[in-house]
A = this chain, B = another copy of it.
Amino acid sequence: MKDFLDLADFTPTAIRELVSLAGRLERRPEPSALPGKVLGLVFMNPSLRTLASFQAGMARLGGSSFVISPGSSWKLEYRAGVPMTGDAAEHVREAIPVLASYADALGIRAFAGGQDLENDLGEPVFSAIRGLCPVPLINMESAVNHPCQALADWKTMDDLRTPAQGGRFVLSWANHPRPLPLAVPASAAQMAAMRGMDVRILRPPGFEFPGPIMDRVKAAAATGGGSVTETARREEAMDGAHVVYAKSWGSTRAYGDAAEDQRLRAALAEWTVEEDWFGPADPGCVFMHCLPVRREVVVTSEVLEGPRSRVILQARNRMYAQMAVLYRLLAEKGD
Q: Interface on A for B, CB 8 Å cutoff? A: 29, 31, 35-36, 38, 40, 43, 46-49, 51-53, 55-57, 59-60, 62, 64, 66-74, 77, 81-85, 89-91, 93-95, 97-99, 101-103, 177, 291-297, 301, 304-305, 311-312, 315-316, 319
Contact = CB atoms under 8 A, between A and B. Distances in A.
A312 B98 contact: yes
| Interface of A: prevailing SS | mixed
A29 B77 CA distance: 34
A85 to B, nearest CB: 5
A70 B72 contact: yes
Given A72-B51, A94-B293, A56 B177 contact: no
A111 to B, nearest CB: 13
Given A60-B36, A72-B71, A55 B47 contact: no
Quickly give the copy total for this chain.
3
A48 B101 contact: no
B46 A73 contact: yes
B31 A315 contact: no
A311 to B, nearest CB: 6
A68 B29 CA distance: 24
Contacts of A95: 48, 292
Nearest to A40: B52
